[in-house]
Amino acid sequence: MKRSGRLVLVSNRGPYRLSLTRGGVKAERTVGGLVTSLLPLMEKTGGIWIAWGDPAGRYALPVRHPRFELRHLPLTSEEVRLFYLGFSNNALWPLCHYFLGRVRYDRAEWEMYEQVNQRFAQAVLEEAGDEDAIWVHDYHLARVPLFLRRQRPKARILFFWHIPFPAVDVFRTLPWRRPILEGLLACDLLGFHIPEYARNFIETVEELLGARADGETVHYAGRATRVLARPIGIDFAAVDRVARSRRTEQRVQKLRETLGPGALIVGVERLDYTKGIIERLRGVEHLLDHEPEWRGRFSLIQIVTPSRLDVEAYRQKKREIDEIVGRINGRFSDGLWIPIRYLHRAFPSSELVAYYRTADIALVTPLRDGLNLVAKEYVAARIHEDGVLILSEFAGVAYQLPEALITNPYSAEEMAAALKQALQMPKPEQRRRMKAMRDRLRAEDIWWWAAEFLEGFER
């Protein structure tokens, strides 16, 4: 039965990997930025979440205290290969992250993207009533708004684009640029993280589609779409609460004892070439090479969560990381001290919070990143208001957190300089910066962000 006035959320990846057991359904959280922010939202507002997944069907989740419905849409292995690994991750992902050298455009992949987007749209049409707000997420599903609009001219459709939107001269390399842009312009409210992406988008549709922009409203094909830039938030209070818990406190003590007296630096990311892991390691190597007095005085814990290992580019990246970690540790370890501790696996989120709380410095230095939630989680976990965040100028979140140390990850020299500045930063300066960042992220959390869109949309 369709209930009216609820939220219908659509994304490629869902919040859980489900398996059927004799006792019922077993749900395991999936890892990624979109899910981190949207799961608390769905748990609070309720509604239905449509996403790729097995087995097909509708599930009430979380299993113990159901708050929303999850509808799983299974994809065949051919669809996964062409739509997900192909067009989404070999064309749109590198394109939007300015990695033109990695882009591969292939007609069969595009056609499958089109088809799978149609299937998602069909599932939405089956679930959504006229009064529902339909909120489509991310670059995998750019055509969905148009397919919905054709069937439901009056539907209320939002879209949020989680990755960067590149400059027009980059985006125009995409042979299917028109249908992607027209797909997006079929929604009523289109969200990006930061003004730069919204500007790029507006310039792109003006130039490539001849659309007309009037402030933040774009007019095209007899319709108007409002374009809004608001960086997605995290559940700040929840991270803060976990960071203050007794269990975390014990974990932090334990980590400190095990890791010894030097400064601790942490890095956490999915294995992805956009995240700049190699470049970061080069920055560390540069410091140890050029300023030997720092040897033995800090170590980097680098957590790399396995991701997209069915794509060759990602397997290749993993080999490169293994190699450079081995080289740096081989060159500088002195038997007792190891500069880099590299962990290639996923951790429970409470364990990540313990690392954030223990680490004097967080390195978040992607080559390009839509926003970056690890930076936000680090800040939220710093309950004593100290610690230093080093941010790449190419992470969207740098726009929201100018109090971080902002650096250029393409320069090992600049990264080493930022690291040194962080290692020497006096506590009062750490506090001044951290407090400003905490105040902002507490205010601009996931509830603020959702209200900006859902209420902005009602207006």
Q: Which residues are catalytically annotated?
A: 162, 369
Q: Which of 69, 132, 279, 377 binds ligand GDG (CB under 6 A)?
A: 377
70-to-14, 79, 375, 454 alpha-carbon distances in Å: 8, 21, 29, 20
Candidates 27-35, 47-55, 109-117, 407-415 — which segment interacts with ligand GDG by CB under 6 A?
A: 27-35
> Closest Cα partner for 329 from 284, 279, 266?
284
366, 324 Cβ separation under 8 angstroms: no
Residue selected from 14, 15, 33, 40 as contacting ligand GDG according to rule CB under 6 A: 33
Region of 19-27, 79-87, 368-376, 404-412 interacting with ligand GDG (CB under 6 A): 368-376
The nearer residue to ligand GDG, 15 or 370, going by C-beta atoms, is 370
Amino acid at 161: W
**What is the nearest approach in angstroms of ligand GDG to the Cβ of residue 107?**
26
The 8-class DSSP code of residue 275 comes to G
Pull the structure tokens for residue 117.
């987007």
Residues in the chain: 459
Among 371, 419, 422, 437, binds ligand GDG (CB under 6 A): 371
410 burial class (0-12, 13-18, 19+ CB within 10 angstroms)?
middle
Which of these segments, 28-36, 204-212, 310-318, 355-363, binds ligand GDG (CB under 6 A)?
28-36
Q: Considering beta carbons, is residue 108 or 309 the nearer one to ligand GDG?
A: 309
For ligand GDG, the closer of residues 174 and 395 by Cβ is 395
Q: In what order do the strands lie in the sheet with 298-305?
A: 340-343, 298-305, 263-270, 361-364, 388-392, 405-407
Query: In the window 265-304, what residues touch ligand GDG (CB under 6 A)?
Result: 268, 270
Coil, strand or helix at 215: coil
Q: With CB under 6 A as the contact rule, which of the stretches 17-25, 214-222, 369-377, 405-413 interacts with ligand GDG?
A: 369-377
Q: Is 48 in the site for ligand GDG (CB under 6 A)?
A: no
CB of 117 to ligand GDG, least distance (A): 19
Write phi, then psi, for 291 (nearest 5 degrees): -135, 75
Question: Residue 220 belongs to what H/E stretch?
Answer: strand 217-220
Size of the site for ligand GDG (CB under 6 A): 24
Residue number, nearest CB to ligand GDG = 33
Q: In the structure encoding, which two tokens stand for residue 351, read together? A: 């364990």
Q: Which of residues 154-183 bind ligand GDG (CB under 6 A)?
A: 162-163
